[in-house]
Chains A and B, each alone.
Chain A
Amino acid sequence: MHDLIVIGTGPGGYHAAIRAAQLGLKVAAVEAGAVGGVCLNVGCIPTKALLHAAETLEHAKKAAEFGLVYAEPERDLAKMGKWRDKIVKKLTGGVAGLLKGNGVELVQGFAKFTGPRELEVGGKKLEAKKIIVATGSEPAVLPGFEPDGEHVLTSTEMLEVERGVPERLLVIGGGVIGLEFASIYARLGSDVTVVEYTEQILPGSDPELVKLLARSLKKQGITIKTRTQASKYKKARGGLSVTLEPAGGGEAETVQVDRILLAVGRRPRSGGLGLEAAGVRTDERGFVPTNEHMETNVPGVYAIGDVARPPLLAHKAMKEGLVAAEHAAGRPAAFDQQIPSVVYTQPEFASVGMTEAEAAGRGLQVRVGRFPFTASGRALTLQQTEGVIKVLADAENDLLLGVHILGPGASDLIAEATLALEMAATASDLALTVHPHPTLAENLMEAAENLHKRAIHILNR
């Protein structure tokens, strides 16, 4: 009998297992696939590896501007794949070592509930006082575009650059995953088209910055078609013929591509798990609802990460894992934090807190400060001047409401903004804090200064 069993060893699961073990619980973790889950094996990490590799090509080209001329790079996709795998192995091996080192028993196999306190794994019964469901998510499907491992691929398959770089790639879905793959393959030489059903790519994100990002992506040779729906495809001579329809109805068009990436979102992996046997409820989309302690409707059964609720982000899963483990160990813990999000396009897009639309929806008067990276010395030295920082504050009391960054280093800059939001800081707090120069971070300070019409490096109009 274990104190706690965690199902799944993705970012949510391994965080929960390790924290529970730290708190003295006897813990087992069940994993049907590879330790580390989606994020380490086929998500966050391998995508970032490939993005870096592809970006390096770009940097090599841009070096000519300052007099470093490289020969045309040779592309060895097999080696790129090996390098990607090496990073993944190092990290997943590290997680396995941490689980072991903390005394977490790792059970390989697919877990199924047979009751609120018991599981079956490969015909074996496991019992625990408490159970955390951390089974993650899997790609959602689109009728007519069923992944076939050849023409229509999922993100997992697209990670295998060894398959070769298609001449023409169609990405269905203008969300985070779609845009990251579009960036990778565009740089590796594909002619990429992204179709997005809604008004804009990255639905829900700051429209002003999204527009700038779309412009940037177009410059990189990526065609973006919003309010467009891929309705069917057929094999044609020398490739695939895909029918695209305007979302609002109207004249359809046909594009010729060689490969299709299906990136229309992900769905929670809650089916086939026997949740019914435990009495755990799921909602109509398949997510497992919880309270602020990540506990489901069945006391002692928790759900965390992608299977629990959106946004589907690794750091959210990690925090939820810690909360669930601490609560299961009888500690006071609750999830009540801000969740930043990052898109690793070039330039990067990161945000935390409210958008202007959300603030307006709450009836708040918002003041906005902006600072463009074109005015940043550091950005110039990095040859990355695309993008803008937006700082939103309550016009009444200067309270920071949200920060949205399109630009170099956005993924790291957003951490300072997140801390500021957690501390209920004002825009003035950001503006008054000395930032080192020359850095990308100082532009956050300048954006906050611009909110009060006091930025130094731009005219505050």
Chain B
Amino acid sequence: MPKEVLLPELAESVVEGEILKWLVGEGDVVAKDQPLVEVMTDKVTVELPSPFAGVLVKKLVNEGDVVPIETPIALIDESAEAAAAPEAAAAAAQAAPPEEAEDRGERLSLFKPDKTEAEVKNPFAGGAKKPAGPAVAERPRAGTNKYGRVLAVPAARQLARELGVDIAQVPGSGPNGRVRVEDVRAFAEQQAAPAAAAAGRPTVPYRTPAGYEELEERLPLRGLRRVIAQQMTASHLSAVRTLVVDEADVTELVALRQRLKPRAEAAGVKLSYLPFFFKATLQALRKFPMVNSSLDEAAGEIVYKKYYHLGLSVATDAGLVVPVIRDVDQKTVLELAAEINDKVARAREGKLSPDELSGSSFSITSVGNLGGLFTFPIINVPDAAILGVHTIQKRPVVRDDAIVAREMLYLSLSFDHRLVDGAEATLFLREVIERIEDPYWMLLGAV
């Protein structure tokens, strides 16, 4: 009898993974610990080793599927003959799917009538809870769209009635925004969820301009792009993002770094400005604990953190990732420099572990090498804020009534106004600036 391979818990609090690529074909022999499948979770890709040796009889999930942990993803036949005769096993796999798989398929079948009940019953009704609160189905509806009628399949209409959902409010995920059974159920579940949970988000309908169908190409939203899209939407919808921009005269910092570069290099570390920004930020965060907090919406509590884990946005070929430098308060500038270099390099190679990509309390994004004066960074939720640091450039400024050229830097602080007030944010940013403007003073307080 073939054994099921379950998708393991890939990291703490990771609940699902996307099947990126099967590394073994059906009917192939696999050794124990041989990489079986590439799975992507919360921004990293991992190769899952096979838990046992045998023949991969059947893949239960397809590439591109997003599956919850503990889901069976493959069947491996451990028996000696199977291992010895992969062709036979492959043939068997085609001829008859193993019993368990068949069973499960049946259990999942939406249309299978409940044999124990004689009355007519909507097979879709099970599963979703009826939302609390007054039913909305009473009022007659007309002219809901340009067709005068919601686009929905009949079973979705009926399910909506049964769940007390106004079908006109359900965002449709089908072609032309057609409401499907799953959409109704998801909407009902969202409504039934506690008010603290994210509210239903209307999907933006996409429509090809008539006549331009041939000039469009469609690719599935997959992999890192999908994670980024989800992450950004979550950030955009949850945080009340507000911006404050300021500038710093970093002439001194430029000189200091220039001076320290050879020493760092002697220690085998390439010294950038980032570790200095990290230190300055750390010191400012200590003065403004609100900026290093998070909102636990479900609990209705503000979480103040006495640790300083700073995320750093890194652009990679595959997309944006945010490795986290932990315990910045316990590391020297040189140590920070080394760690930042290492994490950035491994991020670009896609070699970070899920744990290295989570748990930030504040983030920094270094942008502007490509152009642009300053950005309005999106918060790495549930952080309360993110700092954007930009290109250091000589600009004319007024000093003692004379125009002089100084090394100038724009900084933008994007903060969640639910947690941090405008004045606080402005003062926090000043704290950072004062330190990078006077790095010697900053180093006085450095670990």
Contacts and interface: CB of A to CB of B under 8 A. Distances in A.
Interface in B142-169: 146-149, 151-154, 157-158, 161-162, 164
Interface string B202-225: 000001101000000000000000
A337 interface: yes
Nearest to B164: A332
Interface stretch (A169-177, A279-287, A395-403): A395-403
A111 B149 CA distance: 37
Contacts of B154: 337, 422-423
Contact of A336 (B147, B157, B178): B157
Contact of A424 (B146, B162, B174, B208): B174
A397 B164 contact: no
Contact of B151 (A292, A333, A365, A424): A424
A399 B151 contact: yes
B120 A22 contact: yes
A23 interface: yes
Contacts of A292: 140-141
Contacts of B120: 22
Contacts of B140: 291-292
A332 B210 CA distance: 39
B146 A364 contact: yes
A426 interface: yes
Contacts of A337: 154
Contact of A426 (B157, B164, B175, B210): B175
Nearest to A358: B148
A238 interface: no
Interface in B118-155: 119-120, 137, 140-141, 146-149, 151-154
B116 interface: no
A347 B166 CA distance: 42
Contact of B146 (A362, A395, A398, A426): A362
A363 B161 contact: no
Contacts of B149: 336
Nearest to A290: B140
Nearest to A396: B210
A426 B147 contact: no
A363 B157 contact: no
Given A22-B120, A291-B140, A424-B174, A363 B153 contact: no
Interface string A407-435: 00000000000000011101000000000
A45 interface: no
Given A332-B137, A397-B176, A397-B207, A423 B157 contact: no
Nearest to A429: B175
A334 interface: yes
Nearest to B160: A332
Interface residues of B, number: 25
A363 B137 CA distance: 28
A291 B148 CA distance: 16
A446 to B, nearest CB: 21
Contacts of A365: 210
A422 B151 contact: no
B129 to A, nearest CB: 15
Contacts of A23: 119
Contacts of B137: 332, 334
B146 A333 contact: no
A22 B119 contact: yes
B148 A424 contact: no
A23 B117 CA distance: 12
Contacts of A22: 119-120
B161 A423 contact: no
Nearest to A291: B140
Interface in A336-355: 336-337
B174 A395 contact: no
A424 B152 CA distance: 6
Nearest to B161: A332
A362 B153 CA distance: 22
B161 A333 contact: yes
Interface in B100-122: 119-120
Given A332-B137, A397-B207, A424-B153, A362 B147 contact: yes
A337 B146 CA distance: 17
B207 A396 contact: yes
A122 B147 CA distance: 48
Contacts of B208: 397
Given A291-B140, A397-B176, A399-B176, A422 B161 contact: no
Most buried by B among A291, A336, A395: A336
Interface in A376-397: 395-397
Interface string A202-225: 000000000000000000000000
Contacts of B141: 292
Nearest to A397: B176
B138 to A, nearest CB: 8
A423 B153 contact: yes
Interface in B202-251: 207-208, 210
Nearest to B172: A424
Interface of A: 22-23, 291-292, 332-334, 336-337, 362-365, 395-399, 401, 422-424, 426
20 contacts: A22-B119, A22-B120, A23-B119, A292-B141, A332-B137, A332-B161, A332-B162, A332-B164, A333-B161, A334-B161, A336-B149, A336-B157, A362-B147, A364-B146, A396-B207, A397-B176, A399-B151, A422-B154, A424-B151, A424-B175
Q: Closest 6 interchain pairs by CB?
A: A332-B161, A424-B151, A424-B178, A397-B176, A332-B162, A422-B154
Given A332-B162, A363-B146, A395-B210, 17 more contacts: A292-B140, A292-B141, A332-B137, A332-B161, A333-B161, A334-B137, A334-B161, A336-B157, A362-B146, A362-B148, A364-B146, A397-B176, A399-B176, A401-B147, A423-B154, A424-B151, A424-B152
